Amino acid sequence: QKEVEQNSGPLSVPEGAIASLNCTYSDRGSQSFFWYRQYSGKSPELIMFIYSNGDKEDGRFTAQLNKASQYVSLLIRDSQPSDSATYLCAVNYYNTDKLIFGTGTRLQVFP
Amino acid sequence: GAVVSQHPSWVICKSGTSVKIECRSLDFQATTMFWYRQFPKQSLMLMATSNEGSKATYEQGVEKDKFLINHASLTLSTLTVTSAHPEDSSFYICSARDSVGYEKLFFGSGTQLSVL
């Protein structure tokens, strides 16, 4: 069974710090990787996606992918209290039309 | 980005009744829509993939006779929870995409269903 694993947290960081969120996946046949942010009672919103090994930066966010080790991470620089939310890692497996979500990591940024 | 409209946002119903949830893509045509269910503090679980003009594909363990999905047009998919029971209480979220690739996947605002 294809799985996506995340530490549920909460991960607490002070304002201005770097938050590091990690995700591992079980199937090497994974094709694309996504990070979503979800506020309580709301639907997810896409933060980043990454397809190739290495880093991808977008503003304060950096996604890192290591297919050999089967992990993908999200770094949030200069964390703000408004970044406090649950971050969901999602994986699209090769040759399927499905997006499999991890359980999410709750991030708390305190002033 | 594209907009996916989901209604209603909240619904409270009595046990044994049926509830219909609508998911509309407002400014694009969605040949494929997805329905997810999310229990408190848990992740999104894919229930079914809805394809316009054909039967939905249900995930293992999801009762197709209980969760009826209709994708009659390129902009509308509906999920009907039939004979709802308290254990069906959950947050239901639809999503749709306007092209190949999940970077173009957009989510509705979700429906919180409470069955009394």
Sign (positive or negative) of CA dihedral B15, B44, B94, A46: positive
Question: What is the C-alpha radius of gyration for chain B, rounded to an integer number of angstroms?
Answer: 13
* Residues making up chain A, counted from first to last: 111
B1-5, B64-68, B82-86, B92-96, range with the lowest pLDDT: B1-5
The identity of residue B7, as a single letter, is H
Closest chain A residue by Cα to residue B51: A97
Is the pLDDT at A13 greater than 70? The verdict is: yes
- Residue A17's φ and ψ, nearest 5 degrees, are -85, 175
Decide if B49 and A44 are in contact by the 8 Å CB cutoff.
no
When CB atoms are compared, the residue of A8, A49, A98 closest to B103 is: A49
Q: A7 at the B interface (CB within 8 A)? A: no
Residue A33 in contact with residue A90, Cβ under 8 Å? yes
Distance CA B36, CA B46 (A): 4
Min CA distance, B8 vs chain A (Å)?
13
**Between the CA of residue B44 and those of B28, B74, B79, B116, what are the distances in Å?**
24, 24, 16, 23
Closest chain A residue by Cα to residue B6: A43
- Residue A81's φ and ψ, nearest 5 degrees, are -55, -30
The identity of residue A71, as a single letter, is Y
Q: What SS3 class is residue A59?
A: coil
Specify the pLDDT at position B1: 63
Specify the pLDDT at position B99: 65
A26-30, A100-104, B94-98, range with the lowest pLDDT: A26-30
Query: Of B51, B5, B33, B45, nearest to B96 (Cα)?
Result: B33
- Residue A82's φ and ψ, nearest 5 degrees, are -70, -10
Which of B102, B105, B111, B114 is most worth mutating to test chain A (most A CB atoms within 10 A of its CB)? B102
Distance CA A36, CA A50 (A): 12
| Beta carbons within 8 Å of B31's beta carbon, 6+ residues apart | B51, B52, B74
Specify the pLDDT at position B55: 87
* Pair of tokens at residue A58: 């977008």
What is the share, in percent, of chain B residues with pLDDT greater than 90?
68
Min CA distance, B66 vs chain A (Å)?
22
Min CA distance, B60 vs chain A (Å)?
11
**Between the CA of residue B90 and those of A92, B12, B37, B65, B86, what are the distances in Å?**
24, 11, 7, 18, 9
Distance CA B1, CA A78 (A): 26
Dihedral angle at the C-alpha atoms of A54, A59, A60, A64, nearest 10 degrees?
-10
- Residue with the two structure tokens 């996947």: B105
